């Protein structure tokens, strides 16, 4: 039987290997500029942290919230009519 700490170390190791592979691919210009801009952004950082929290914690709430926030702000940057998304997000999010 594996200890709970071992699962966290595995997730962290896989995450570090993936980040290293992306950075090497960016430096070797294997990734086009548009995708590079999308991959290396603060929105993607929130999504990655949310995925790590989903994989390592039994409470899935914080991970889902970070993924939702990162995805929302990424959608605002990359969709054409995202201004309307921005206008309805906050009232919808804070409704009672």
CA distance 11 to 1: 17
Query: What pTM was computed for the model?
Result: 0.66
Q: Are the CB atoms for 69 and 63 separated by under 8 Å? A: no
Phi, psi torsion values for 59, nearest 5 degrees: -85, 110
Q: How do residues 2-16 score in pLDDT, each as one tens digit?
A: 566 677 788 788 888
Q: How do residues 24-39 score in pLDDT, each as one tens digit?
A: 988 898 888 878 887 8
Rounded to the nearest 10°, the torsion over CA 19, 54, 59, 65 is 90
Which H helix or E strand runs over 74?
helix 61-78
Q: How do residues 37-73 score in pLDDT, each as one tens digit?
A: 878 888 998 998 898 888 877 888 889 999 999 988 8
């Amino acid at each position: 039987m594996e200890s709970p700490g071992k699962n966290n170390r595995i997730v962290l190791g896989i995450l570090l290997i993936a980040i290293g592979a992306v950075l090497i691919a960016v430096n070797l210009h294997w990734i086009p500029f548009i995708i590079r801009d999308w991959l290396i952004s603060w929105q993607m950082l929130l999504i990655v942290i949310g995925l790590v929290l989903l994989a390592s914690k039994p409470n899935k709430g914080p991970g889902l919230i970070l993924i939702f926030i990162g995805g929302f702000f990424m959608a605002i940057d990359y969709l054409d009519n995202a201004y309307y998304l921005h206008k309805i997000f906050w009232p919808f999010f804070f409704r009672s």
